[in-house]
Chain A
């Protein structure tokens, strides 16, 4: 049986690991290479590393540093931040990444996304979507102040044949107050590729709440691993207790 993936999400600002709260007020967490080493030793299922300011600061991701991170990992690793050409993707894959993460390009440069999927295959391209909640409505956060309804965007996204979708809840990000269960309900059964849900996990019960809401995808976690005593294996043991398939490494 396919196991639920528990994926640490590492956010980077160009020099250090950081953790934001509702996408603001970044708090410094230290050295990404050291962090990758720890997660590799803990046999995590996958790792996602994102330079979250590369696009807005018009930078490319620091390949030398990313290579040092990837060198520590024997699990699949996804890299994102400032990727907007085929060459960018080649550069990241050439240092050992398995998947690349697109965010901005999904909204303003779908021609590039199509080209990337054709060239590298959909399994290599992950979509990272930041979901803004206004009242009871959900929008795709973007740099162009466009109002994009989540449900409409999923229809568009489907045509792009992307391998997986990583959903970040802006309002719950870094709060450790639990996942946005309304969002989880909204997206259940709407997406036919793998989905990674991110934003809000602060205790193990939150994970139980998420799966009880009907969500059946994978988990992305950041604050819980940095600001509490819980390890990826603790999360998995909790999931095993509620009869979810996980890969427990002893």
Chain B
């Protein structure tokens, strides 16, 4: 069972629809017991960084997420904002603190290209074995900020948009993507089905 964290932001329904389609059991929830009893945790999200942290805090979810992911080492996937929130801080609308599971910061995309970075872009894998490989490599992106990790050995893929942008990271049980697998048709569905193998 995948717990899709409901913190009042983002496209929870798109994620649920993708998992339903793959016959992966999931529930949209912010109930602590439900999150503790799940096999996987998925943090989706579209929206502003500080609002995301405020909502997680208000719902009292930070402690349970820390416990499940950092101590119990439950397999975790963060998507887009849910990926950026894993970092120590973000520069979106002032400096705001994140969950801090991955060392580094979130900054505005500094390029002459149009912002947001919106649409289908192909990613480059760093280490094929370290990544859930998919046949198709075009994924759907929509973001104006991007992550700068301290430790680049955790980066599993990059995307080019005027500059090199980290498009996914894997740190032990924690996996995150800047792109939206739930919106990336076949390529995205394939990635999700390989990630949540034992649901």
A interface SS class = loop
Residue B74 interfacial (CB < 8 Å): no
Q: Is the CB of A123 within 8 A of B144?
A: yes
Please judge, given known A-B contacts A1-B160, A120-B47, A218-B119, whether A194 and B13 are in contact too, CB under 8 Å: no
Q: Is the CB of B161 within 8 A of A2?
A: yes
Residues of A within 8 A of B113 (CB): 2
Residue B82 interfacial (CB < 8 Å): no
B interface SS class = mixed
Residue B34 interfacial (CB < 8 Å): no
Task: Tell me the minimal C-beta distance from A185 to chain B in angstroms.
Answer: 18
User: Among B136, B143, B185, which residue has its beta carbon within 8 angstroms of that of A75?
Assistant: B185
Please judge, given known A-B contacts A1-B121, A2-B120, A75-B140, whether A121 and B46 are in contact too, CB under 8 Å: yes
Q: Is the CB of A96 within 8 A of B121?
A: no
Q: Mark A110-148, 1 if CB is under 8 A from B, else 0.
A: 000000001011111000000000000000000000000
Residue B117 interfacial (CB < 8 Å): yes
Residues of B within 8 A of A191 (CB): 114
Residues of A within 8 A of B122 (CB): 1
Residues of B within 8 A of A163 (CB): 116, 118, 142
Residues of A within 8 A of B27 (CB): none
Residue B130 interfacial (CB < 8 Å): no
A-B CB contact pairs (8 Å), 26 listed: A1-B122, A2-B121, A5-B119, A45-B119, A46-B119, A74-B183, A74-B188, A75-B140, A75-B184, A76-B140, A76-B142, A76-B180, A93-B13, A96-B11, A121-B48, A122-B116, A122-B144, A123-B118, A123-B143, A124-B46, A163-B116, A192-B115, A193-B116, A194-B118, A247-B120, A249-B186
Q: Is the CB of B21 within 8 A of A74?
A: yes
Interface magnitude class on chain A: 20 to 34
Residues of B within 8 A of A218 (CB): 119
Please judge, given known A-B contacts A2-B117, A93-B11, A193-B116, whether A71 and B142 are in contact too, CB under 8 Å: no
| Interface-central residue, B114, B116, B119, B160, by most chain A CB under 10 Å | B119
Q: Is the CB of B120 within 8 A of A45?
A: yes
Residues of A within 8 A of B143 (CB): 123
Q: Mark B96-126, 1 if CB is under 8 A from A, else 0.
A: 0000000000000000011111111110000
Residues of B within 8 A of A171 (CB): none
